Chain A
């Protein structure tokens, strides 16, 4: 599995990673080598083998539906890079009407 620079850039965009050209050049052969190694897992298991996602048999874990105290809002906002009026601030998403 040889990954092209375009494929690396596409996966990086899916992963929200702004990679430099230099990183793309270095990553393409590394990722190709790792994926080639990982491909050993292909077709060893019969179709009737069910994939395990978790080593412990999981059941729905529910608790009683009751109101509990959350972490203090100011403690959470204190860690944010930008805050205004008790909210997290991000760059404008919707453009202003012209």
Chain B
């Protein structure tokens, strides 16, 4: 089998027994990137365009160093030598970091994010920075300042967003692992529509230090992969307390890898009544019904559950997130880094720089947030949204008194055609309807492929667990993955070409 089709766990094992070198593994993935991704600065119409910047030389040097240290008999991390695609929201010292925005074009940060340090300490090899919706605002990666990424299952469709570059890179076999961030569903929704696995951990479990802020009370970094085991292995590397992030949970992160294969027999699975009805495509609904039957066949007790305030989570989110964003994005003022558009006064320079550097969706959200926080409207919007957040939290607490996990489809629809929703922001926002409640409550949630719809496009199953119970979400996801037998290799007439041995 081709190296690029192997999981991270398999690659790590092959390298550990000396079957292949880290250099060979990294070269195979860099070759795949060169083959299917296109030129980051001018991708063609059939190019995946998952990457904004490929760090080929650094990746080769890192791999060679790992091989040398392995040859000397040094102890290496569980994922040593495994390639990883890093969402461009994470700052990387000396490597261009744009957050998908023209306002940060060419910026080379002077420090590394904590997760980047942890990846390096674990000998994971970063192969490049991935495309994303500008400042992580969007569900399709069409809001990138550098052009959209394409879905490996259908090159005319979106790979989801905002971590669409990361999901596309993993699905297109350019890297077995990626990191994304999830503010309202931006790891899970792209995972769902590209047939991959994405975990949003509990808020505060993975450090936000060096993660370019969108909405600080919601942003959470997490792993993306083609298998649940790989996602668990990567989670283990990045999770844990960071004194540099004041919102980081000051407790050791529990082991999520060892208990992965524990039986889920007897677990209670709650089907969220409010997250699966109207507005869900027939193919999504059908796949979800099959998924419930699979979970029952694994010996779980599937029961109906209610989160009465879940329908209000999305409108609350679209007040809270823009409010926090309008504050966080105030730092792009043309003074200390990034773009500057000259003007006679400082205030005009600020306003002209921001007008030129930000795209349409970022402007929309800054406007919504500024309005919601402005005098006279704060109580009616931001404060009420915060109260709804309390009600959503209470709903989850009550539900988790009854069940071990909650499930729903991850996204109400499969990947949609590029340009279909760009002019209708509200229609775009509805992609997040099932994912947003977990962000408001800060609980872990994973998307695992549940199959394909009639058109052959991937559908995701969302599994939500109580705070700090990533292990439970991952266990259920692993058991489901084994039972469903989903093959994560893109196929179909309009899919990216996958090496022949893989399709057979």
Interface residues of A (CB under 8 A from B): 3, 8, 11-20, 23, 27, 30-31, 33-35, 37-45, 49-56, 58, 61, 63, 71-72, 75-76, 78-82, 88, 90-91, 93
Contacts and interface: CB of A to CB of B under 8 A. Distances in A.
15 contacts: A15-B366, A17-B354, A35-B368, A38-B318, A41-B319, A41-B381, A44-B387, A49-B387, A51-B383, A55-B217, A79-B337, A81-B339, A90-B346, A91-B343, A93-B346
Interface in B384-423: 384-391, 393
Main secondary structure of the interface of A (DSSP, over half): loop
B486 to A, nearest CB: 31
B370 interface: yes
B385 A16 contact: no
Contacts of A75: 110
Nearest to A79: B337
Contact of A19 (B334, B343, B355, B386): B355
Given A17-B366, A31-B371, A91-B345, 19 more contacts: A8-B367, A14-B374, A15-B366, A16-B351, A27-B367, A33-B426, A37-B315, A39-B315, A39-B380, A40-B312, A40-B315, A41-B384, A45-B388, A55-B467, A72-B110, A75-B110, A79-B110, A90-B349, A93-B345
A55 B440 contact: yes
Contacts of A18: 348, 351-352, 354-355
A17 B384 contact: no
B346 A34 contact: no
A79 B336 contact: yes
A14 B243 CA distance: 34
A39 B318 CA distance: 10
Contact of B367 (A17, A72, A88): A17
A53 B358 CA distance: 27
B390 A45 contact: yes
Contacts of B389: 51-52
A33 B386 CA distance: 21
A75 B111 CA distance: 9
Interface of B: 107-111, 203-204, 217, 243, 246-247, 249, 309, 312, 315-316, 318-319, 326, 330, 333-340, 342-352, 354-355, 358, 363-364, 366-368, 370-372, 374, 380-381, 383-391, 393, 425-426, 429, 440-443, 467
A80 B352 CA distance: 17
Contacts of B344: 91
A82 B340 contact: yes
A79 B106 CA distance: 9
Contact of B315 (A20, A41, A63): A41
Contact of A80 (B312, B337, B367, B386): B337
Contact of B388 (A41, A63, A71): A41
A69 B352 CA distance: 35
Contacts of B315: 37-41
A17 B425 contact: no
Contacts of A72: 110
Contacts of B393: 52, 55
Contacts of A19: 355, 363
B110 A52 contact: no
Question: Closest 8 CB pairs between A and B?
Answer: A55-B442, A51-B386, A45-B387, A81-B340, A75-B110, A18-B351, A61-B246, A18-B355
Interface-centre pick from A33, A45, A53, A55 (highest chain B CB count, 10 A): A55
